[in-house]
C-alpha cells in the first residue's frame, strides 16, 4: 500500500497505469467515481479534482462544486481491468473548494470518531461478515429471483454452486490488498458469506465498499447477479452485515480479561451501543426491506446481549486473545458503512465516558423498530443522532428515507421494494 504522494506517483509511472478512478460515496453509501488520467494525479493529490455535487443524491453545498482529494494509502489496482493500461482506484476525501471538510462526507465523519477513540487511548478494530445472494439471469441477461443453487449452511459442491465464485471473489480481494478471512455458503438458497480479518474502522468501511463492487463484477463475469438486498426472498434467511468489533489499549484487547469476563471499559462500550440501538436503526437498517429480516431466523429483534446466542442484538463469541470481541448482529449490507460504523463507535465511546453499567445477559425489554417509518421517527427525536450527524446531512437523509418509506407503503410493498432495491443494492 502506497502512503505518500511521491510513492503513488512513482507507482503510476512504473506500472503502466492509464486510468485513475477517484471513488467516494453519497450519504447513503452508494459508491460513485470520477476517472482522471495519470497526468492529472499530482494536481488531484495536492488540491483535489472538482465534481458537480448538485448531481449527487443527498449532497448539499453553497456551490455545486466540491473536490475529491485522493487518500494515498487506499491505492488499489482493479484486477478485473486490463493488465496493460492498468486501472487503479483511490478512496477520496470530499472537501470544499477552499480545502475544508465537506459535512456530507461520511468517510470524514467516521475518521473523526476514530480520532476521538485515539484521544481516549483506544484503537478500534472491525472485522465485518457480509452476506449476499447470487441469482440467475434470464435469457435477456436480466436478473431473476431464482437462486443460483439450493445449498444450505456450509454445504459443498455440487449442492453449493457458489464455491468457485467465492474463490474468485476472495482471490480478487487479495490482489487488491484486502484480507478475506473466510467464505462459505450461508443458510439461504444461493446465499453466500465473505468474512474479513479485523482492521481499522476506516479500512473496514473502505473494504466493504470494495466488496460490493468486486462481488457484483465477479458475479456478472460468471453469468449471475449478486444482490445485497437484506431480504430478497420470503421465508428464507435474510442477509446481514455482522459487525465484529474490539478495542485495543496499549496494544492489548480490552474485550477479554478471562473466560466470560471483560474489562469495565468493554462492558461500558457494549452498554453504550445497546443504549443507542433503537436510535441508530434507521442508519444500520436503512431500507423498508431491512425490517422484513429482523426477528426472523437468528436476526435480532430486541435490544439485549448474550454469550454465544445468535439471536441477540450483541453476541459475545467464544474467542480469546486478539479475537475476543463483540458481534453486533442487526446491521445489514444496505447500510452506509462509514455512517454506520461512526454511529456504533460514537455510541460505545459515549458509554465508556459515562461509565455505563452492562445489563444482565438476555435481559433487554426494548425491541428494535419494526418498520423504517418507526425507525425514522425515533432518529428524528434522538439527541444522540442530532449530535453525531451534521444537521444538513441528517435532514437530507431523513427526508429521503421518509419519502422512500411513504412511496413503498402507498404501493404494493413487495413489488415496490423489488423495483426500488433489488437491482440497486
**pLDDT in single tens digits along all 425 residues of the chain:** 567 888 999 999 999 999 999 999 999 999 999 999 999 999 999 999 999 999 999 997 656 889 999 999 999 999 987 667 899 999 999 999 999 999 999 999 999 999 999 999 999 999 999 999 999 999 999 999 999 999 999 999 999 999 999 999 999 999 999 989 999 999 999 999 999 999 999 999 999 999 999 999 999 999 999 999 999 999 999 999 999 999 999 888 999 755 556 789 999 999 999 999 999 999 999 999 999 999 998 899 999 999 877 789 999 998 888 889 999 999 999 999 999 999 999 999 999 999 999 999 988 789 999 999 999 999 999 999 999 999 999 999 999 999 999 999 999 999 999 999 998 99
Query: Do residues 238 and 374 share a domain?
Result: yes
Q: What is the three-class DSSP state of 419?
A: helix
* 167: Cα within 13 Å, side-chain hemisphere: 7
Query: Do residues 293 and 189 share a domain?
Result: yes
Within a domain: residue 108?
no
Query: Do residues 302 and 263 share a domain?
Result: yes
Burial class (CB in 10 A: 0-12, 13-18, 19+), 350: buried
Residue 100 has φ and ψ, to the nearest 5°, of -85, 165
Provide the CATH number for the domain around residue 298.
3.30.590.10
Query: Do residues 73 and 142 share a domain?
Result: no
* Domain end marker among 82, 102, 122: 102
Please report the pLDDT score of residue 324 as a whole number. Answer: 92
Q: Are 24 and 94 in contact (CB under 8 A)?
A: yes
Query: Do residues 83 and 118 share a domain?
Result: no
Residue 66: give the domain boundaries.
Answer: 5-102
For 183, the grid coordinates are 467464505
Query: Do residues 92 and 215 share a domain?
Result: no
Please report the pLDDT score of residue 174 as a whole number. Answer: 95
* Domain end marker among 102, 135, 160: 102
Query: Do residues 129 and 52 share a domain?
Result: no
Whole-angstrom distance, CA of residue 155 vs CA of residue 7: 44
Q: Are 306 and 312 in contact (CB under 8 A)?
A: yes
Query: Do residues 287 and 224 share a domain?
Result: yes
Query: Do residues 93 and 73 share a domain?
Result: yes
Q: How many domains does the chain have?
A: 2
Q: What is the pTM of this model?
A: 0.96
DSSP string, 162-218: -HHHHHHHHHHHHHTT--EEEEEE-SSTTEEEEEEPPEEHHHHHHHHHHHHHHHHHH
Please report the pLDDT score of residue 2 as a whole number. Answer: 61
Query: Do residues 117 and 80 share a domain?
Result: no
Query: Do residues 278 and 404 share a domain?
Result: yes
* Domain end marker among 102, 131, 155: 102
Q: Are 185 and 154 in contact (CB under 8 A)?
A: yes
Please report the pLDDT score of residue 76 as a whole number. Answer: 94
Query: Do residues 144 and 88 share a domain?
Result: no
Amino acid at each position: 500500500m502506497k502512503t505518500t504522494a511521491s510513492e503513488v506517483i512513482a507507482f503510476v509511472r512504473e506500472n503502466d497505469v492509464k486510468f485513475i478512478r477517484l471513488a467516494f460515496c453519497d450519504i447513503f453509501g452508494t459508491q460513485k467515481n470520477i476517472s482522471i488520467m495519470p497526468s492529472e494525479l499530482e494536481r488531484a493529490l495536492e488540491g483535489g479534482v472538482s465534481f458537480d455535487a448538485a448531481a449527487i443524491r443527498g449532497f448539499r453545498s453553497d456551490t455545486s462544486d466540491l473536490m475529491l482529494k485522493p487518500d494515498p494509502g487506499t491505492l488499489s489496482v482493479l484486477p478485473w481491468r486490463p493488465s496493460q493500461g492498468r486501472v487503479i482506484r483511490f478512496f477520496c476525501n470530499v472537501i470544499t473548494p477552499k480545502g475544508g471538510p465537506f459535512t456530507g462526507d461520511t468517510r470524514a465523519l467516521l475518521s473523526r470518531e476514530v480520532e476521538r477513540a485515539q484521544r481516549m487511548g483506544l484503537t478500534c478494530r472491525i472485522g465485518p461478515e457480509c452476506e449476499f445472494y447470487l441469482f440467475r439471469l434470464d435469457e435477456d441477461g436480466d436478473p431473476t429471483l431464482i437462486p443460483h443453487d439450493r445449498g444450505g449452511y456450509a454445504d459443498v459442491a455440487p449442492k453449493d454452486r457458489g464455491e468457485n465464485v467465492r474463490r474468485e471473489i476472495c482471490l480478487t480481494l487479495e490482489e487488491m490488498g484486502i484480507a478475506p478471512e473466510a467464505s462459505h455458503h450461508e443458510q439461504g438458497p444461493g446465499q453466500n458469506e465473505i468474512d474479513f480479518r479485523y482492521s481499522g474502522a476506516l479500512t473496514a468501511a473502505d473494504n466493504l465498499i470494495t466488496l460490493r463492487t468486486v462481488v457484483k463484477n465477479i458475479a456478472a463475469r460468471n453469468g449471475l447477479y449478486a444482490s445485497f438486498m437484506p431480504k430478497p426472498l420470503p421465508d428464507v434467511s435474510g442477509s446481514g452485515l455482522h459487525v465484529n468489533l474490539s478495542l485495543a489499549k496499549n496494544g492489548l484487547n480490552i474485550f477479554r480479561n478471562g473466560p466470560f469476563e471483560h474489562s469495565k471499559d468493554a462492558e461500558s462500550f457494549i452498554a453504550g451501543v445497546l443504549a443507542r440501538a433503537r436510535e441508530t436503526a434507521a442508519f444500520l437498517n436503512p431500507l423498508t426491506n431491512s425490517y422484513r429480516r429482523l426477528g426472523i431466523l437468528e436476526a435480532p429483534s430486541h435490544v439485549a446481549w448474550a454469550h454465544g446466542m445468535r439471536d441477540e442484538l450483541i453476541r459475545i463469541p467464544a474467542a480469546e486473545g486478539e479475537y475476543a470481541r463483540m458481534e453486533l448482529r442487526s446491521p445489514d449490507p444496505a447500510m452506509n458503512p462509514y455512517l454506520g460504523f461512526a454511529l456504533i463507535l460514537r455510541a460505545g465511546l459515549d458509554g465508556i465516558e459515562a461509565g455505563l453499567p452492562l445489563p444482565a445477559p438476555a435481559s433487554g425489554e426494548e425491541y428494535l423498530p419494526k418498520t423504517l417509518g418507526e425507525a425514522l421517527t425515533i432518529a428524528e427525536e434522538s439527541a444522540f443522532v442530532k449530535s453525531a450527524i451534521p444537521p444538513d446531512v441528517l435532514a437530507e437523509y431523513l427526508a429521503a428515507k421518509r419519502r422512500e418509506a411513504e412511496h413503498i407503503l402507498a404501493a404494493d410493498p413487495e413489488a415496490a421494494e423489488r423495483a426500488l432495491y433489488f437491482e440497486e443494492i
